[in-house]
Structure 1
Amino acid sequence: ANGLKAACYRLNTRLLHRPPRDPAPGGLIERLFQTAQHQFEAEVRAGDLLTLEQLNRALSAWLSVAYHKDIHSETGQSPEDRYRQGLTIIRQVDMSRVIESFMQAIPRTVNRTFSDVQVNKRFYRVDPKLRGDKVEVRFDPFSTWDKVQIHSLDGQYLGTGLLHQRQTGLPAVPHPQRKKPEHSYTELLIQQHKQELAEKTGGIDYLQIVEHRRWPFHQFAGTVAQLLGFKAGLTGLCSGDLEALKKVYNQSSSIDRQMVKNAFENARQPSVPYIIAELKQLIKGDR
């Protein structure tokens, strides 16, 4: 009854009941039933057993081809012509919405593990965000049962549930994707640091050294870092240390590994400034 009222509301029609103590309207319906039994039902029973889908298809064909085109003995017109003669306006109806009015609705709780609901021993996978939520499952009992509608308890549409087999394995839990920020703070720091190093060292690339030097600068600076115990190598030296080492490196082309070791051994403290001071003395002596 509730479904019929909802359908009338969607169709913008009124539900009219048979007036009491008035057999004529009832006789019209009974005559339709009698015609359907004598013509359509008799043929169906005489033929092969039909499925519900085949029966509905056959009934639609009988109504369209036979019943609506037979001339009525009293009116002299077919039901189809009589209908068109009295027609004043045609309204388009979304039958899918009308069918929704007759759907069955049952409450369910979405399974936390499988993210599904169970209806008539079938499992329907729903949006993983609904895990553990109480929902209302709506379905057409005469459909193919491949999907159902999921609504909140207050009637809000939440999506569809698709038929699946639990034996196929647990669904992967989606991880929310973090939106990449438009401006990266760490990238900004890296670019700023590169700019500072370029300004302090005059834009010198320590890995690209002039070929005529027999000992490249990056090996020279790496030796100093190694002697100081920096496991990270050159990266253990700050920009100020690299700038100071570059200046002393440019003072003499005779600097080699042994000279650096001697400077380290003679330095009063194991630090870049004291090593540079000893290197300068060795350079003067070498001259």
Structure 2
Amino acid sequence: MAHAEFFWAEDLYALELCFQQALLRRGLPWRVYVDRGLIFQAEVFTRACAELGIRHISGTPGHPEGRGKIERFFETLQDQFLRELSHHPVPHLAALNERLAAWIEEAYHVQVHSETGEAPAVRFARLKGRRSVSAEKLAHVFLWRRVRRVDKTGCLRFDGNRYEVPPGLEGRRVEIRFHPLHLERLSLFIDGRHVGDAVSLDLAHPVYRGLDRVHHPEPSRPVEPAIPYLELLVHRRRQRQARAMSPLRLSLLEDPEAMPDV
């Protein structure tokens, strides 16, 4: 499992966020196999795959066996993670995703697979020739795009907002590239060439109105105690992360008094 995450909506933006995390964690695959759902066939997703050198393959209608592996994962998720979680629900989405990541890395990835005979983490570590990608590259290729015309005064309107563009673009059609959560500034392109940025003059809608509101930043709330088993997995994951980042903090995390009560 390259990456998994819970979202409040099953839409294109959620797919982008999850897919980008998978690419940053595991590198670029040569192929991605998806079904024919609208979000998997969306222009922003298929174009990003092409620009990253990933072959976009769609499943054949009427052949569900092609989705057998992901269905088996969901079955394991249901039997192990969600069953454990049902006894002690967590207070918010961030806490839920932290426990999911801990379960994947500390439990699911270390279990021996019945077909391969080895744990997924061990099998992945043996792979050679992995292609890495930077966060900056992903941020660029996953920008949403629209086409608008600049008016005679050197301004353009987009999503209910008014923007000022660089001189010389009056009357031109430009491609707008933007992040749906940040409409303060838009990148402008003509024939694939960056020609400047559009700066907001009247920002009535800082977030793209076509984006589901559930993706707007969630207010922070205090984390409450959760399930002992998943808490232990979270603790183990934090230990490994701290060991990788700073050996100076390892002694603190290995203190028996720092272990959670189980």
Q: TM-score, normalised by structure 1?
A: 0.43
Q: Which has the higher contact order (CA 8 A, sep 6+)?
A: 2
More helix by percentage: 1
More strand by percentage: 2
> Computing the radius of gyration over CA atoms, which structure comes out larger, 1 or 2?
1
Q: TM-score, normalised by structure 2?
A: 0.46
